[in-house]
A and B are shown apart, each in its own frame.
Chain A
Amino acid sequence: MSVTGNEQRLIEFANVSKFYGEGEAEVRALDGVSFTVDDGEFVAVMGSSGSGKSTSMNILGCLDAPTGGNYFFRGVDVGTLTRNQRALLRRHYLGFVFQGFNLLKRTSALSNVELPMVYRRTSARKRRKTALAALDAVGLSDRVHHSSSELSGGQQQRVAIARAIATEPALLLADEPTGNLDSERSHEIMQLLRRLNEEEGITILLVTHEEDMASYAKRQIVFKDGHITSDTFSGGGSR
């Protein structure tokens, strides 16, 4: 599957809504949200819980479809894609980093990083080479054969980042990547993400509720009650 169109414009949210339930029980998680993200940006999506930031993350990650409006990824209307087509889009263009790391248990760091490439049908040799390089990039060359249970939280998250970047995704989605980590480990992870953005040019969308984490990004979008309340460029040079 190939996605073509406006090369610069990576993401366009056009009046996107997501409603749950019906009638009186209806919850408007997202209510007519519009914004765009270009290639190479590092955007922090902020807001308290229930603000709609997680819902927009799921839609951005093609895990969920909007109930109203359009989500264009590289000009393609994701809302018109089938479940399997969205899976292909994730496979080839997206990388995920989760709050809970979400590594496979009883599986080595190397195998975890190789997993997305297994679904890309990458040859075993290339998979291994790429995975080792990705683990090196996150500073875990010496933990390649450790299983996730043998790694600390910070190390696990770095494996997850290696897994996300090994496929050279067009967009890296990080959902509260520091939520389960202590302050020192959190800053290490954020520095790693910023370095990936600046040096590798990877577009990153970071969801967080912590302002000092969001300050690593060059742009901050703040959600409240399903609407965007502010969208500012800080330059991301605060640290």
Chain B
Amino acid sequence: MFFSTVFIAMREIRANLMRSILTTLGIIIGVGAVIIVVSLGNGATQQVQNDLSELGNNLLALVPGDQNQGSANRLVQMFTEDDVDAIREQVPSVLMVAPVLTQVVMAVNGNENYGSSVRGTTNDYFAIRNLDVVRGRTFTAGELRSGRPVCVIGETVRRELFGVQDPVGAEIRLSANSEVNCEVIGLLEEKGADTFGNDQDDFMVAPLAMVQRRLAGNRDVTLVFMNAVSDEAREDAIEGVTQLMRERRRVRDDQDSDFFIQDLKEVQAQIAQVTGIMTIFVSAIAGISLLVGGIGVMNIMLVSVTERTREIGIRLAIGAQEMDVLIQFLVEAILLSIMGGIIGVAVGVGVSYLAAGALGFPFLVSQEAVIIAVVFSGIIGIAFGFFPAFRAARLDPIEALRYE
């Protein structure tokens, strides 16, 4: 009985194939939109998470200046190496601390020259930022203390300056306020571009003392990277460092801090929130589309019931009960809607795949979204198919048989 009902419904849908597909267009668009948005949202979130975990676990950045103006303000007081030592000794929830002084330089190797930047820092920097040296080595204690001119270069710098040559052991000239010849002792693992398209391999790393004395000509620390001992300790670390730095920089109680701490987990949370809002917004539009699609299904089912009045009359005359006719038309409406849902999923997955490829996101189709979309389209079939099916079931067999 069930199979013959489904079979009859399939035949009716096939008999009016074009009409059936047009009818379900609203459902196709609605379901497709949900799949696309959820897939791309998941992909973007995944991408951001990958980027952030690439940056380092529980990474915190201590930045001088007002949070809104950043370090662009030239009058901002920079940090010192003593600040870094104080954080290391006095804030227990901070695991590692790396001072950074960034200097824009022109790098020259023979005839090749390339503009990039040098980050003067310590070996902790590699650990905090999850940077691996794939060839060569990091700095020795002696190099760090004396400020010997050695550097570890990123993949982009290697490509620009060395091409096919082996960089390790070669000497390059760096020029900023002054010039220094610098031995390349290591090569960093390639990281590629981040979500926003920034090249993450376009820099060099050198001992802090070297960059301070030989290139920048000052004893500043422009940025301090830290990581908290654990995910839960992030709040403690932020609070501890903030308090310590306010004391050290003599910020009065009624004044705002002249520095701020960036928590990448928060950036991540913000991006997730934006993605969430987008998902809700587009889902609302998709919901309206599904509603319109449902009304389309109801409309065409009413047409179908009218067209098939005589058939309904025959069925009632030869012994169909109201429930038999009701179920027959309901099954047809549900099949129609689910068909739209499945086409919508196919369209959504296809578009998501192409869009993910174009945007460089990972292609992630949410199984839940697919199941929910198909089930929901079935529910739409029941909701909007019920009225036409009820009308069919309530037909008077005598009138229906007389219908031309």
A and B bind: yes
Residues of A near any B CB (own CB < 8 A): 58, 61, 63-64, 83-84, 87-88, 90-92, 94-96, 98, 102-106, 115-116, 118-121, 124, 163
Closest to B402 in A: A100
0/1 interface trace, chain B 61-79, chain A, CB 8 Å (1 if under)? 0000000000000000000
A-B contact pairs, 22 of them (CB 8 A): A61-B317, A64-B398, A84-B321, A87-B320, A87-B322, A88-B319, A91-B320, A96-B318, A98-B401, A102-B310, A102-B313, A102-B317, A105-B311, A106-B11, A115-B314, A119-B315, A119-B318, A119-B319, A119-B320, A119-B321, A119-B324, A124-B4
Extra pairs beyond A103-B314, A119-B320, A121-B1 (8, CB < 8 Å): A83-B322, A87-B322, A91-B319, A91-B321, A94-B319, A102-B317, A116-B319, A163-B318
Evaluate whether A90 and B398 lie within 8 angstroms (CB atoms) in the complex, with A106-B15, A121-B1 already known. no
Given contacts A90-B317, A104-B311, A118-B1, contact A84 B322 (CB under 8 A): yes
In the assembled complex, the Cα of A63 lies from the Cα of B402 at a distance in Å of 13
Residues of B within 8 A of A95 (CB): 318
Q: Which residue of A lies closest to B319 (CB)?
A: A91
Residues in B neighbouring A94, C-beta threshold 8 A? 319
Q: Check A87 against B321 for contact (C-beta < 8 Å).
A: yes
**Do A115 and B315 contact each other (CB < 8 Å), given the known contacts A58-B398, A64-B398, A106-B11?**
yes
How many angstroms between the C-alpha atoms of A95 and B4 in the bound complex? 21
Return A34 CB to nearest CB of chain B, in Å.
23
Q: Are A92 and B15 in contact (CB under 8 A)?
A: no
Judged by a CB distance under 8 angstroms, whether B397 is at the interface is yes
| Residues of chain B at the chain A interface (Cβ within 8 Å) | 1, 4, 11, 15, 310-311, 313-324, 397-398, 401
Tell me how far the C-beta of B315 lies from the nearest C-beta in chain A, rounded to whole angstroms: 7
In the complex, how many angstroms separate the beta carbon of B6 from the nearest chain A beta carbon? 12
Are B319 and A63 in contact (CB-based, < 8 A)?
Answer: no
The CA-CA distance from A6 to B397 in the complex, in Å, is: 29
Chain B residues closer than 8 Å to A106, beta-carbon distance: 11, 15
Contact present for B397 and A63 (CB under 8 Å): yes
Closest to A175 in B: B401
Rounded to whole angstroms, the CA-CA distance of A116 and B319 in the bound complex is 7
CA distance A95 to B314 in the complex (A): 11
Q: Do B401 and A87 touch (CB < 8 A)?
A: no
- Contact across chains for B15 and A120 when beta carbons are under 8 A apart: no
Which residue of B has the minimal Cβ distance to A89? B319
Q: Is the interface of B mostly helix, strand, loop or mixed?
A: helix
Of B1, B15, B319, B322, the most chain A CB neighbours within 10 A belong to: B319
A104-B314, A106-B15 as given contacts; A92 in contact with B397, CB under 8 Å: no
Question: What chain A residues lie within 8 Å of B15 (beta carbons)?
Answer: 106
Instruction: Report chain A residues within 8 Å CB of B398.
Output: 58, 63-64
Q: Tell me which residues across on chain A come within 8 A of B318, comparing CB atoms.
A: 90-91, 95-96, 115-116, 119, 163
- Establish whether residues B319 and A120, one from each chain, have CB atoms under 8 Å apart when the complex forms: yes
Chain A nearest CB, measured from B323 CB (Å): 8
Tell me the minimal C-beta distance from A174 to chain B in angstroms: 13
A116: chain B residues within 8 A (beta carbon): 318-319
Q: Nearest chain B CB to A221's CB is how many angstroms away?
A: 21
Asked if residues A87 and B316 are in contact (CB atoms below 8 Å), the reply is yes
What is the distance, in angstroms, from B293's C-beta to the closest C-beta of chain A? 27
Compute how far the CA of A64 lies from the CA of B313 in the bound complex, rounded to whole angstroms.
Answer: 13
Is there an interface contact between B314 and A87, defined as CB atoms closer than 8 Å?
A: no
In the complex, A91 Cα to B318 Cα: how many Å? 6
A63 surroundings in chain B (CB, below 8 A): 317, 397-398
Q: Which residues of B contact A98 (CB under 8 A)?
A: 401
- Residues of B within 8 Å of A88, CB to CB, are 319, 321
Q: Once the chains are docked, how many angstroms separate the CA of A119 from the CA of B311?
A: 14
**Nearest CB in chain A: distance from B58 CB, A:** 66
Complex CA gap A129/B323 in Å reads 27
Q: Which residues of chain A are within 8 angstroms of B320 by Cβ–Cβ distance?
A: 87, 91, 119
Give the CA-CA distance A140 to B362 in the complex, in Å: 63
B4: nearest chain-A partner, CB-CB: A118
Rounded to whole angstroms, the CA-CA distance of A163 and B397 in the bound complex is 18
How far is it, in angstroms, between the C-alpha of A64 and the C-alpha of B315 when the chains are bound? 15
Q: For residue B1, which residues in chain A have a CB less than 8 angstroms away from its CB? A: 118, 121
Instruction: Kindly list chain A residues whose C-beta atoms are within 8 Å of the C-beta of B321.
Output: 84, 87-88, 91, 119
Cα A182 to Cα B318 with chains together (Å): 26
Minimum CB–CB distance for A84 against chain B, Å:
5
Measured between beta carbons, the chain B residues less than 8 angstroms from A96 are: 317-318
Q: Return chain B residues, CB-CB under 8 Å to A119.
A: 315, 318-321, 324
Per the bound structure, the CA–CA distance linking A119 and B11 in Å amounts to 18
A124 to B2 Cα, complex, angstroms: 11
